[in-house]
């Protein structure tokens, strides 16, 4: 392997601090391993070097490479994660008597129990309903992450609560945090976040303790710097002290944890604020994919204001990457089948989703097509989601009235979506209803303990359950709509979720299920069975994961699912995008597309959903055309939307290609205005953001908002709602 000049510069960096801006796939591990070996060869003792990695997988990867490249017998430095350092510091500070001993809460249920106790203490004087709402599983989970984040950000719980939008019914979070702190102290326990938080607070407050841990290092190398949180940053500064030179490596364009306090500008500003002067090094060449994708990535991130001025360049020996856009599950299935037919394994492919809710439709499509898959998180299997289990349960009841006599089945349906009633009470009610088949008398003790609104809700739900078997003839999609409407499910899910995003995700899950049920209209029973099919991860299956979960990984084939407006970028009418969130969504899209090596397929839903603006922003067709032109070494001019950007890219590669300005694409901000007030006639030439250029063949329906059929040069014939499609009318010659 021949190192690039940029890599060599990093490896041979002299004295002082350094920042390395590395694009995705820049061979960071190789470069940093060689940097460590260079330091060792220069005589720096191994014990005076520390390498800090983001997580355990990255640490193992780094260690394996270090061992494989080091001369035999060479003593090697420690490669640690932040948490393992925190763990060790905690042990030392405890041994030296600066920290009282505490035991780590290792099991989730232990932590959950303490959280529940903390809530009960914080809401001592509150009414039953408030307490029961606060004790809902989702809200306890949200409180748990709130408490961990307060410690990760090293700020007061009140200030942190003000900073983020935790939604309604979370006002007890700040008090519950304080109660949890007291409980942890009383019981001599600590949480995962305490592994960093406790030693840091101790070292900040105690000069003597600090002098005992500082001064042992000359070099600290830290990876994924763009996403480290405040506690990790403090730890880094503490370990480096006045003496060690810090080399921070990262990519501000891949900063995807803004919601928990990371910021793209930290890569530059926070480093300078903490460590002062430093040398800056770019690692701009990617060894992952071809020019088409490198260009698409550069285009995709271009609209962000907060980004480094750095292009991602593809190395000439990289695989050629092809980019494509498609619509719907059929195309995903076709792609995966074609991949298999070409002799490739599904374990070399990945389906990426912006959020887990979007994976539900992929799972159902793959199940139906018999394509094996595995999930990065097994609890996200569609049939394991409590809401899906319950909805499938409602459908089954419609087909089988005997289930009205089954207490376990009734309990499932009474508890999802949540009626905000404690489980023990629901259990008692389900048992009684299964036997009596009638709603209890007014003064029944079972009802006496319920609030009037809880009583009303549950009575309405029981009426729905009794009605369902009479509606057996309705297709599943209609049944689901009926259930959702009667239970006011959207409102309940939004209210029950402790984070706004979680509520929106659950509502999206409802939509996705109804859409899927609609698609199975021909075989309704199959749809119901599908939701019940026991599925397990298949090692040979295609991986489904979120973009966040794909950080640092790559696959030969990547299909990005759900590339629709509102899904990716994610927003809703109640939760519109501001500039900062749009930029974070764009970075997430950048991370998503740069996971592919050979092929990237961006899939959107079509129909009501508009394709994501990010597809157009990536100018993927330009990328394909330029890559093709470079491959063929053509002298013909290539027309592109952004000749300056493409010209810079080619200049950096030292190649020349004639470029010409394509007609300007409509700006993303103009999306809402598409098609409005425009008249459409057959023969007109149009440009679609996703499908490219084409000709209108048919215009029909409401003249104010017609349906048009367009023959696209590359995407074939498509029917579109003119008012909704991201379409621009072109002037000039008809297509030939
Ligand atoms: N100068 C080079 N020439 C050719 N291939 C290289 C070069 N540097 C790195 N690579 C290759 O690039 C691939 C990725 O490198 P490596 O594993 O070091 O990076 P990484 O840390 O996993 O990637 P990333 O930069 O995304 O974090 C490896 O196959 C590596 O051999």
Domain of 394, CATH number, reads 1.10.486
CATH number of the domain where residue 550 is located? 3.40.50.300
Q: Return binding residues.
A: 22-29
Last residue of a domain, one of 531, 549, 579: 531
Same domain, 386 and 509: yes
CA torsion angle 160 165 171 176 (round to 10): -40
669 inside domain: no
Peptide bond connecting 417 to the previous residue in cis, omega within 30 degrees of 0: yes
Helix H or strand E segment including 391: helix 386-399
Q: What is the pLDDT of residues 440-461, one digit of tens each?
A: 988 888 888 788 888 999 999 9
Same domain, 520 and 546: no
pLDDT for res 736: 27
CATH number of the domain where residue 721 is located? 2.30.140
Residue to probe by mutation, ligand 1, list 5, 26, 27, most atoms within 8 Å of CB: 27
Same domain, 205 and 341: no
For ligand 1, residues with CB inside 6 Å are 1-4, 7, 22, 24-30, 287, 552
| 338 phi/psi in degrees, rounded to 5 | -65, -40
Nearest atom in ligand 1 to the alpha carbon of residue 287 is 12
pLDDT for res 678: 60
What residues make up the domain containing 140? 112-147+158-183
Measure 148 CA to ligand 1 centroid, in angstroms. Answer: 34
Measure 31 CA to ligand 1 centroid, in angstroms. Answer: 8
pLDDT for res 124: 87
pLDDT for res 675: 39
Q: What is the overall mean pLDDT for the chain?
A: 89
Same domain, 643 and 718: no
Q: What is the pLDDT of residues 399-429, one digit of tens each?
A: 999 999 999 999 999 998 888 888 888 999 9
pLDDT for res 260: 64
pLDDT for res 135: 87
545 inside domain: yes
Same domain, 43 and 14: yes
359 inside domain: yes
| E strand spans, 585-723 | 596-604, 638-640, 659-661, 685-688, 692-700, 707-712, 716-721
Same domain, 394 and 525: yes
| 154 phi/psi in degrees, rounded to 5 | 55, 40
Same domain, 423 and 299: no
Instruction: Give the length of the chain.
Output: 736
| 281 phi/psi in degrees, rounded to 5 | -130, 135
pLDDT for res 499: 64
Measure 26 CA to ligand 1 centroid, in angstroms. Answer: 6
Measure 198 CA to ligand 1 centroid, in angstroms. Answer: 37
pLDDT for res 9: 98
Q: What is the pLDDT of residues 616-653, one digit of tens each?
A: 999 999 999 999 999 998 888 999 999 999 999 999 99
Measure 91 CA to ligand 1 centroid, in angstroms. Answer: 36
For the cut 70, the answer to whether the pLDDT of residue 669 exceeds it is no
Q: What is the pLDDT of residues 544-583, one digit of tens each?
A: 999 999 988 999 999 999 999 999 999 887 778 888 899 9
477 inside domain: yes
Q: In terms of pLDDT, which residue wins out, 621 or 698?
A: 621
Contacts of 445 (CB under 8 A, 6+ apart): none
Lowest-pLDDT range of 81-90, 286-295, 301-310, 345-354: 301-310
pLDDT for res 515: 81
pLDDT for res 500: 67
Candidates 380, 348, 326, 325; CA nearest to 542 is: 348
Same domain, 319 and 375: yes
495 inside domain: yes
Q: Return binding residues for ATP.
A: 22-29
pLDDT for res 659: 94
For the cut 50, the answer to whether the pLDDT of residue 256 exceeds it is yes
Last residue of a domain, one of 607, 627, 661: 661
| Residue 234 token pair | 């403090």
Q: Is 488 left (phi over 0), alpha (psi -120 to 50) or beta?
A: left
Last residue of a domain, one of 610, 627, 661: 661
Above pLDDT 70, what percent of the chain? 95
- Spatial separation of the C-alpha atoms in residues 100 and 188, rounded to whole Å: 8
Same domain, 64 and 208: yes
556 inside domain: yes
Lowest-pLDDT range of 2-16, 164-178, 617-631: 164-178
52 with 82: CB under 8 angstroms? yes
CA angle 673, 679, 683 (to 5 degrees): 120
For the cut 90, the answer to whether the pLDDT of residue 494 exceeds it is no
81 with 57: CB under 8 angstroms? no
734 inside domain: no
Q: Is 50 left (phi over 0), alpha (psi -120 to 50) or beta?
A: beta
Measure 570 CA to ligand 1 centroid, in angstroms. Answer: 32
- Spatial separation of the C-alpha atoms in residues 591 and 255, rounded to whole Å: 9
Report the nearest-CA residue for atom 27 of ligand 1: 28
- Spatial separation of the C-alpha atoms in residues 412 and 386, rounded to whole Å: 9
Report the nearest-CA residue for atom 10 of ligand 1: 27
Same domain, 414 and 482: yes
Same domain, 387 and 497: yes
Q: What is the pLDDT of residues 281-319, one digit of tens each?
A: 999 999 999 999 999 999 999 999 888 889 999 999 999
For the cut 50, the answer to whether the pLDDT of residue 176 exceeds it is yes
Lowest-pLDDT range of 50-54, 584-588, 669-673: 669-673
Residue to probe by mutation, ligand 1, list 20, 287, 289, 315, most atoms within 8 Å of CB: 287
Nearest atom in ligand 1 to the alpha carbon of residue 24 is 26
Contacts of 239 (CB under 8 A, 6+ apart): 50, 85, 213, 214, 217, 220
Look at the chain and report how many structural domains it folds into.
5
Measure 1 CA to ligand 1 centroid, in angstroms. Answer: 10
Measure 644 CA to ligand 1 centroid, in angstroms. Answer: 29
Same domain, 572 and 641: yes
Q: In terms of pLDDT, which residue wins out, 616 or 131?
A: 616
190 inside domain: no
């Amino acid at each position: 392997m021949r190192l690039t000049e940029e890599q060599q510069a990093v490896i041979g960096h002299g004295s002082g601090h350094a920042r390395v801006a590395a694009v995705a796939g820049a061979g960071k591990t190789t470069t940093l391993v060689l940097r460590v070996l260079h330091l060792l060869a220069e005589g720096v003792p191994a014990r005076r070097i520390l390498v800090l990695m983001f997580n355990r997988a990255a640490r193992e990867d780094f260690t394996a490479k270090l061992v494989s490249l080091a001369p035999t017998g060479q003593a090697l430095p420690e490669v640690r994660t932040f948490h393992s350092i925190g763990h060790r510091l905690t042990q030392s500070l405890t041994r030296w008597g600066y920290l009282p001993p505490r035991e780590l809460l290792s099991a989730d249920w232990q932590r959950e129990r303490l959280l529940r106790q903390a809530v009960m203490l914080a809401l001592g004087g509150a009414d039953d309903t408030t307490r029961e709402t606060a004790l809902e599983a989702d809200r306890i989970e949200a409180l748990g992450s709130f408490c961990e984040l307060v410690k990760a950000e090293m700020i007061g719980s009140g200030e942190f609560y003000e900073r983020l939008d935790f939604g309604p019914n979370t006002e007890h979070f700040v008090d519950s945090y304080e109660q949890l702190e007291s409980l942890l102290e009383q019981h001599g326990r600590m949480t995962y976040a305490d592994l960093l938080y406790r030693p840091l607070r101790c070292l900040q407050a105690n000069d003597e303790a600090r002098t005992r841990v500082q001064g042992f290092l000359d070099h600290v190398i830290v990876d994924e710097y763009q996403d480290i949180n405040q506690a990790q940053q403090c730890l880094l500064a503490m370990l480096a002290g006045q003496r060690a030179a810090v080399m921070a490596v990262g990519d501000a364009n891949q900063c995807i944890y803004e919601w928990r306090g990371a910021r793209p500008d930290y890569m530059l500003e926070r480093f300078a604020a903490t460590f002062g002067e430093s040398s800056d090094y770019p690692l701009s060449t990617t060894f992952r994919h071809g020019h088409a994708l490198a260009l698409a990535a550069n285009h995709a991130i271009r609209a962000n204001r907060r980004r480094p001025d750095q292009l991602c360049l593809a190395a000439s020996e990289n695989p050629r990457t092809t980019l494509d856009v498609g619509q719907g599950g059929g195309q995903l299935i076709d792609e995966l089948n074609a991949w298999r037919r070409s002799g490739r394994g599904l374990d070399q492919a990945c389906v990426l989703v912006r959020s887990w809710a979007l994976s539900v439709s992929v799972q159902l499509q793959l199940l139906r097509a018999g394509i094996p898959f595995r999930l990065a998180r097994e609890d996200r299997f569609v049939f394991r989601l409590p809401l899906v289990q319950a909805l499938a349960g409602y459908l089954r009841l419609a087909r089988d009235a005997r289930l009205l006599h089954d207490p376990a089945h009734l309990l499932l349906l009474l508890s999802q979506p949540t009626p905000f009633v404690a489980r023990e009470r629901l259990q008692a009610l389900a048992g009684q209803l299964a036997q009596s088949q009638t709603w209890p008398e007014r003064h029944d003790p079972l009802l006496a303990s319920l609030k009037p609104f809880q009583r009303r809700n549950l009575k309405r739900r029981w009426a729905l359950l009794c009605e369902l078997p009479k509606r057996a003839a309705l297709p599943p999609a209609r049944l689901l709509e009926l259930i959702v409407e009667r239970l006011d499910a959207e409102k309940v899910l939004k209210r029950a979720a402790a984070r706004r995003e979680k509520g929106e995700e659950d509502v999206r899950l409802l939509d996705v299920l109804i859409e899927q049920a609609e698609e199975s209209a021909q075989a309704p029973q199959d749809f119901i069975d599908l939701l019940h099919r026991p599925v397990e991860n298949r090692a040979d299956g295609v991986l489904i994961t979120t973009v966040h979960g794909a950080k640092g990984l790559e696959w030969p084939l990547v299909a990005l699912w759900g590339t629709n407006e509102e899904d990716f970028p994610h927003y809703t009418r109640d939760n519109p995008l501001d500039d900062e969130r749009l930029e974070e969504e764009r970075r997430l899209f950048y991370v998503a597309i740069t996971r592919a090596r050979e092929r990237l397929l961006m899939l959107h839903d079509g129909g009501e959903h508009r394709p994501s603006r990010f597809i157009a922003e990536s100018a993927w067709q330009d990328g394909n055309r330029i890559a093709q032109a470079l491959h063929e070494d053509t002298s013909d001019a290539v027309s592109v939307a952004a000749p300056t950007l493409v010209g810079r890219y080619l200049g950096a590669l030292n190649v020349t290609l004639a470029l010409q300005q394509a007609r300007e694409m409509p700006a993303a901000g103009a999306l809402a205005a598409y098609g409005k007030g425009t008249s459409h006639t057959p023969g007109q030439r149009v440009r679609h953001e996703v499908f490219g250029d084409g000709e209108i063949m048919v215009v029909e329906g409401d003249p104010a908002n017609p349906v048009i059929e367009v023959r696209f040069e590359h995407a074939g014939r498509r029917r579109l709602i003119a008012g909704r499609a991201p379409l621009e009318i072109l002037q000039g010659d008809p297509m030939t």
